[in-house]
């Protein structure tokens, strides 16, 4: 015989009344944010972020709206600030009588603080285990037809494991300062940073940058875009101990990828599937680590500027730079101009165009250091490689040349040239 026990409804209600329902989600609307594009929502957002950290961490949600900020935000440890986007939008600027305005179909932050003060506080500072995701960042006071106003970094990543996900940097002067942290993650970011896109330095535990696309969606007005091509740097790397960069692209900068030496040191890392189009110089290496910059499956195009060049390795470089299975094209002056005490290698690469003015320039001009070129294809009947007197070592082997072999060797060092194939006709 089965017996069932019924609990009186009054007792159930009494028990539920004593249950505390925990929540790790907070809405900025509950803290006074308006999202109307004119009310300053800085204090409301910070109240929500502080409430989340007092609760031990959580997510602060910004629903659909245009949120105006006269100040800056600090995202505490273990707190995520998120908008509605689950995938970064292509762009949310629309033209109204020539003036782009954010649309009302997402979460857009209107940033205004520190105009003209590049050294001011970043708009958003991320910390230990904190994340920014699913928002568009827009500077409404930038003029798309004029030289851009300086602003501080839009996002600063600090602490351990800070993350920027699914974010559009529509038109910042400086995009993301990914320095002085550990294991940063930047994924699915798009936009048009005007002066600098991403800056990496003082990273002693692996940083990751994935699926980042910088393109002039906001403005290609002549005055602004010419300034960007003369001054813009899409990706800048100082000290990073094994940086991972995957599937990144930039268009219309002075330098696409720049490697520098800072007080913290130099960079080594794995760069896979990276690209730079219409940059005055696609890759500039001022210095690099002995452990090497490993650049694979890259695509680089240069055809504008005073001396359009795909790769420039400066005399200050002492490390190793390796290009593998990369393609280089565009009517440039030269594919690469190389110097320094380090080693530069090209393996299984394709060189399509160079010497655009028919001046007799080689695809690769090497002034000093060491060079390895193996298994590459030179697709124009023009000079291929020129070695200067200060070249210490060079191996040029197993390459395919269009037309006759044109190698100029003035090196006083040890040079091996063999098994290359040119056209016999």
Q: Which residue's entry shows tokens 């890759």?
A: 283
**In what helix (H) or strand (E) does residue 20 lie, and over which residues does it extend?**
none
Residue 300 has φ and ψ, to the nearest 5°, of -135, 135
pLDDT range class, residue 88, cuts 50, 70, 90? confident
Residue pLDDT, tens place only, 383-401: 999 999 999 999 999 999 9
Q: How many Å from the N-terminal Cα to the C-terminal Cα in the chain?
A: 102
The tokens describing 210, both together, are 């994935």
Give, for 17, the enclosing helix (H) or strand (E): helix 9-17
Average pLDDT over residues 303-321: 97
Q: How far apart are CA 366 and CA 369, in angstroms?
A: 8
Q: Around 393, how many Cα atoms within 13 Å sit in the side-chain half-sphere?
A: 8
Which one, of 219, 104, 239, lies nearest residue 171 by Cα?
219
Q: Is the pLDDT of residue 101 over 70?
A: no
| Contact status, residue 41 vs residue 68, Cβ threshold 8 Å | yes
Q: Residue 163 pLDDT more than 50?
A: yes
C-alpha to C-alpha distance for 313 and 339, rounded to whole angstroms: 6
pLDDT at 91 over 80: no
321 has a pLDDT exceeding 90: yes
- Closest among 350, 303, 343, 301 to 327, alpha carbons compared: 350
Q: Indicate the domain borders of the chain.
A: 25-226, 232-425
d(CA 181, CA 52): 22
SS (H, E, C) 102-147: ECCCCEEEEECCCCCCCCCCCCEEECCCCEEECCEEECCCCCCCCC
What pLDDT is attached to residue 89?
79
pLDDT class of 136 with cuts at 50, 70, 90: very high
| DSSP letter for each residue of 189-227 | EEE--SSEEEEEESB-S--EEEEEEE---S---HHHHHH
**pLDDT mean over 173-179:** 98
Confidence (pLDDT) at 102: 54
| 270 contact partners, CB below 8 Å, separation of at least 6 | 242, 243, 244, 245, 294, 296
208-214 and 185-191: which strand pairing?
Answer: parallel
Could you report the per-residue pLDDT of 42-64, keeping only the tens digit for each?
Answer: 999 999 999 999 999 999 999 99
Domain 25-226 falls in which CATH fold?
A: Pectate Lyase C-like (2.160.20)
**237 pLDDT higher than 90:** yes
Mean confidence (pLDDT) of the chain: 92
Q: Which two tokens stand for residue 176?
A: 């993301």
Encoded tokens for 11: 């007792």
Residue 24: per-residue pLDDT: 78
Percent of the chain whose pLDDT exceeds 70: 91
Q: Nearest CA to 248 among 157, 176, 304?
A: 176
Cβ atoms 309, 337 nearer than 8 A: yes
């Amino acid at each position: 015989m089965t017996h069932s026990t019924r609990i009186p409804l009054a007792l159930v209600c009494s028990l539920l009344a004593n249950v505390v329902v925990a929540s790790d989600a907070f809405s900025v609307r509950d803290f006074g944010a308006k999202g109307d594009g004119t009310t300053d929502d800085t204090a409301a957002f910070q109240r929500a972020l502080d409430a989340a950290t007092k609760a031990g961490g959580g997510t602060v949600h910004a629903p659909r709206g245009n949120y105006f900020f006269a100040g800056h935000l600090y995202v505490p440890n273990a707190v995520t600030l998120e908008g509605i986007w689950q995938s970064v939008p292509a762009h949310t600027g629309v033209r109204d009588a020539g003036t782009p305005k954010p649309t009302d179909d997402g979460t857009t932050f209107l940033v205004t603080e520190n105009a003209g003060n590049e050294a001011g506080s970043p708009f958003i500072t991320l910390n230990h285990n904190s994340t920014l995701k699913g928002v568009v960042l827009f500077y409404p006071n930038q003029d798309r037809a004029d030289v851009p106003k300086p602003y501080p970094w839009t996002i600063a990543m600090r602490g351990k494991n800070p993350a920027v996900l699914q974010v559009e940097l529509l038109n910042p002067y400086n995009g993301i300062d990914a320095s002085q942290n550990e294991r940063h993650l930047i994924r699915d970011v798009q936009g048009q940073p005007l002066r600098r896109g991403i800056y990496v330095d003082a990273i002693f535990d692996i940083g990751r940058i994935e699926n980042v696309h910088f393109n002039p969606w906001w403005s290609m007005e002549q005055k602004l875009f010419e300034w960007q091509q003369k001054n813009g740097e899409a990706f800048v790397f100082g000290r990073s101990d094994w940086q991972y960069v995957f599937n990144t692209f930039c268009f219309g900068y002075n330098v696409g990828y720049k490697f520098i030496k800072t007080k913290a040191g130099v960079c080594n890392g794995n760069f896979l599937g990276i690209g730079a189009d219409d940059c005055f110089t696609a890759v500039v290496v001022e210095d690099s680590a002995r452990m090497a910059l490993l650049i694979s499956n890259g695509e680089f195009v240069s055809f504008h500027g005073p001396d359009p060049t795909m790769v420039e390795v400066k005399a200050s470089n002492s490390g190793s730079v390796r290009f593998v299975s990369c393609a280089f094209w565009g009517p440039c002056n030269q594919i690469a101009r190389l110097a320094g005490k380090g080693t530069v290698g090209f393996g299984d690469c394709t060189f399509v165009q160079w010497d655009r003015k028919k001046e007799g320039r080689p695809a690769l001009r090497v002034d000093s250091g060491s060079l390895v070129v193996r298994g590459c294809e030179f697709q124009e009947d023009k000079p291929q490689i020129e070695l200067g007197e200060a070249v210490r070592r060079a191996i040029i082997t197993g390459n395919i040349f269009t037309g006759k072999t044109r190698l100029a060797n003035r090196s006083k060092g040890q040079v091996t040239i063999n098994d290359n194939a040119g056209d016999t006709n």
